[in-house]
Amino acid sequence: MTFELQHTDDASDARAGVITTDHGQILTPIFMPVGTEGAVKAVHFDELREEIKAQIILGNTYHLYLRPGLDVLRAAGGLHGFNGWERPILTDSGGFQVFSLTGIRKLSEEGCEFRSHIDGSKHFFTPENVMDTERIIGADIMMALDECPPGLSDYTYAKNSLAMTQRWLDRCIKRFDATEPLYGYRQSLFPIVQGCTYKDLRVEAAKFVADKGADGNAIGGLAVGEPTEVMYEMIEVVNAILPKDKPRYLMGVGTPQNILEAIERGVDMFDCVMPTRNGRNAMLFTYEGTMNMRNKKWETDFSPLDEGGCHIDRVTTKAYLHHLFKAKELLAMQIASIHNLAFYLRLVTDARQHIIAGDFTKWKASVIDQLGRRR
């Protein structure tokens, strides 16, 4: 994987670049739809390609390991062969999911024992077997196994957690370097910067990760309950240290406002379940603010969902989508999910264009307040 930094904003740390993988190029800044179990909820790959303009999607190691399982994925030639998505894929290591299983997991230096949320069966993740699992899944970008501590962890817990994450990273790198891709194309490993909201721990973590010389780097453990201003401060602290010539991935973030603020601070890659999760619950994101499509005010509004949006936005009226949600039609969730993902991709594409044009900061200031307004 290579990364070419093409443009930088004079008034901020915003950047535009291009990531090149064996499955294609990714223009940054980029938003990556979340396909946890090999599919983006309620959205077909044709819509991802044509309507949403997705360039890369995510899969999750924990969920894919449990179902369909590694034997099926290997027989299919990896996740690309299994689901037919021919563009780049990134896999999360599953660490966040495992550590969210409060009460049914045990953490140790060796790894993490956990019980499946599906059938209660017992499993064990180590840095080594997670690397092996991600080789079998075959994503273009693999994430290292880390512990994502609770956002309000005390300093001692956060420090000890970070130390173990760093030891695990060394084991991940050793295993990654000792193994080969299985399907004839290259894979990259991204380390993850942790450290909660403690500046000194984030500095230590960023330096440790930067020294590894990986193809790209991720920032984890944010947007987990801390104030947004603290999140932005931690991004600034970390990005002042991470290499400028490698892509930076902010994991699990967030709202449209969060994304623009992070782009301004030098982040290149994003993912979040919010567009599809909120869409399934009738919330639409637009440049004019958010819309709750169950509200009666849309009942006789026959204007398009979004005049400047994708094709589905222009041919679907607000009144029709309101009706679909009130009638509990599955089509409502599909249309809303497509709209939200297309809007997120439009947002980062517009940001890229304004970075290239040299007026990103001015454009961002003109739209950011409106993005959070309730319509």
Using CA atoms, how far apart are residues 112 and 127, in angstroms rounded to an integer?
Answer: 9
Q: Which one of 92, 140, 268, 350 is the catalytic residue?
A: 92
Nearest to residue 15, comparing CAs of 337, 242, 297?
242
Average pLDDT value over all residues in the chain: 96
195 labelled binding-site residue: no
Using CA atoms, how far apart are residues 353 and 7, in angstroms rounded to an integer?
Answer: 10
Residue at token pair 């030891």: 167
pLDDT(295) > 90: yes
pLDDT tens digits along 190-201:
999 999 999 999
Q: Return the structure tokens found at 151.
A: 């956002």
Q: Are 173 and 221 in contact (CB under 8 A)?
A: no
**How high is the pLDDT of residue 32?**
98
| 271 is a catalytic site residue | yes
Sheet arrangement for strand 188-190: 57-60, 89-92, 141-143, 188-190
Q: Is 63 left (phi over 0), alpha (psi -120 to 50) or beta?
A: alpha
Using CA atoms, how far apart are residues 97 and 201, in angstroms rounded to an integer?
Answer: 23
Q: Would strands 30-32 and 112-115 be described as parallel, antiparallel, or unpaired?
A: unpaired
pLDDT(273) > 80: yes
Angle at 73 between CA 72 and CA 74, to 5 degrees: 95
92 labelled binding-site residue: yes
17 labelled binding-site residue: no
Nearest to residue 23, comparing CAs of 137, 138, 136, 133?
138
Query: Domain ranges in the chain?
Result: 2-271
**How high is the pLDDT of residue 80?**
98
93 labelled binding-site residue: yes
CATH annotation of 2-271: 3.20.20.105
pLDDT(155) > 90: yes
252 labelled binding-site residue: no
pLDDT(95) > 80: no
289 labelled binding-site residue: no
Is residue 96 very low, low, confident or very high in pLDDT (cuts 50, 70, 90)? Answer: confident
Nearest to residue 73, comparing CAs of 55, 56, 90, 61?
61
Is residue 107 very low, low, confident or very high in pLDDT (cuts 50, 70, 90)? Answer: confident
pLDDT tens digits along 25-71:
999 999 999 999 999 999 999 999 999 999 999 999 999 999 999 99
Which stretch of DSSP H or E encloses residue 269? Answer: strand 269-271
**How high is the pLDDT of residue 225?**
83
**How high is the pLDDT of residue 101?**
73
pTM of the model: 0.97
| 245 is a catalytic site residue | no
Q: Which one of 140, 271, 313, 350 is the catalytic residue?
A: 271
pLDDT(170) > 90: yes
Cα–Cα separations (whole angstroms), residue 53 to 4, 49, 153, 339: 21, 5, 38, 12
**How high is the pLDDT of residue 148?**
87
**How high is the pLDDT of residue 106?**
86
pLDDT(306) > 80: yes
